[in-house]
Amino acid sequence: MPVSPLTDLSRLCVHTITTKPWALDDAVRNYAAAGVKGITVWRQALEGRNVADSGKLIRDHGLSIVSLCRGGFFPALAPADRAKAIDENRRCIDEAAALGAPMIVLVVGAVPGQSLVESRKQITDGIAAVLPHAQAAGVKLAIEPLHPMYANDRSAVNTMGQARAMCNQLKSPFVGIAADVYHLWWDDNLEAEIKASGREGTLFAFHICDWRTPTVDFLNDRGLMGEGCIPIRQIRGWVEEAGFKGFNEVEIFSNRLWSQDQSQFLENIKSAYLNHS
């Protein structure tokens, strides 16, 4: 069944990293003026700022804070380093609470050369360790599976299926999944996994951008919606059928797009959002 186009910006969220050249104040002012309704704040945008004041600034401009991005990076060879990662994630939870963000996106991490099975165990243990702190703070944790090309160094969780298995093990209303089309579009289990996640109540977030061909950089060559091959609208349809009613979050890392005039880029995001997602 064809999925209806989006007709307004009421569920459009932009990640601060998407317009990286802008400091937080500029991002907030420009997003609000452009009619964007949600913002996901990257931690580096908060560096050197008062976090609670930043949250107030955002709310005063009428924007909803969708997530703080990002916690995670739990696995490490040395137990002391895993303990440090857990401490850092507790600080991230405190930061989310101070900001007024209801959720943290977790890029869960991996250790080059360590088996993915062992890394996934360390990730599960790490999330379990910070979970009481998250629950006490009222902050949800969204595991973001990353594309298999990041399996060795950024995330040992590479499919929605693996993220669901982790959620099922942790069994908490505070642990769920951030589904990003960039990482998951190729997976032929995606529709089934999204729907299962919806049934299980773990579909916490939905991130959009596009996959360009050729992609020339492993990290910073994502495309604006419509510039690539991802059936974004179809996947949004699955997400909505699964009961998701949250924001559609535009998260793009792109040296090419960061080098453009960011006000024009934000206008392009709005049209791409309406036309291609």
Q: Which of 152, 172, 220, 263 binds a copy of itself (CB under 8 A)?
A: 152
Identify the residue among 187, 193, 249, 251 touching a copy of itself (CB under 8 A).
Answer: 187
Residues in contact with a copy of itself, counted by CB under 8 A, come to a total of: 26
User: Would you count residue 149 as binding a copy of itself (CB under 8 A)?
Assistant: yes
Which listed range, 7-15, 32-40, 84-92, 114-122, lies at the site for a copy of itself (CB under 8 A)?
A: 114-122
Token match 């995670």: residue?
72
Residue 48 lies near a copy of itself (rule: CB under 8 A):
no
Q: Angle at Cα 30 formed by Cα 212 and Cα 57, nearest 5°? A: 120
Q: Is residue 186 involved in binding a copy of itself (CB under 8 A)?
A: yes
d(CA 263, CA 248): 20
Residue 115: exposure state from Cβ atoms within 10 A (0-12, 13-18, ≥19): exposed
The residues facing 141 across adjacent strands are 104, 175
* 144 scored as a contact of a copy of itself (CB under 8 A): no
192 interacts with a copy of itself by CB under 8 A: no
Instruction: Report the residue number, 162 or 202, with the smaller CB distance to a copy of itself.
Output: 162
Q: Is the peptide bond between 70 and the residue preceding it cis, with omega within 30 degrees of 0?
A: yes
254 in contact with a copy of itself (CB under 8 A): no
The most distant pair of C-alpha atoms in the chain lies apart, rounded to whole Å, by: 52
Q: Does 148 bind a copy of itself (CB under 8 A)?
A: yes
In the complex, least distance from residue 21 CB atom to a copy of itself, rounded to whole angstroms: 24
Whether the CA torsion 269, 277, 252, 211 is positive or negative: it is: negative
For residues 204 to 243, the per-residue mask of contacts with a copy of itself, x marking binding by CB under 8 A and - elsewhere, is: -------x-xxxx-x---------xx-x------------
Helix or strand run (H / E) with residue 235: helix 232-241
DSSP 155: B
Instruction: Examine residue 2 and tell whether it contacts a copy of itself (CB under 8 A).
Output: no
Say whether the peptide bond before residue 59 is cis (omega within 30 degrees of 0).
Answer: no
In the set 48, 79, 113, 173, which binds a copy of itself (CB under 8 A)? 113
Relative orientation angle of helices 190-200 and 160-170, to the nearest 10 degrees: 20
Rounded least distance, CB 125 to a copy of itself, Å: 18
Beta-ladder partners of 106: 71, 143
The verdict on 117 binding a copy of itself (CB under 8 A) reads yes
Residue 273 identity = Y
Residue 54 or 158: the one with the smaller Cβ distance to a copy of itself is 158
List contacts with a copy of itself (CB under 8 A).
112-113, 115-117, 147-149, 151-153, 158, 162, 185-188, 211, 213-216, 218, 228-229, 231
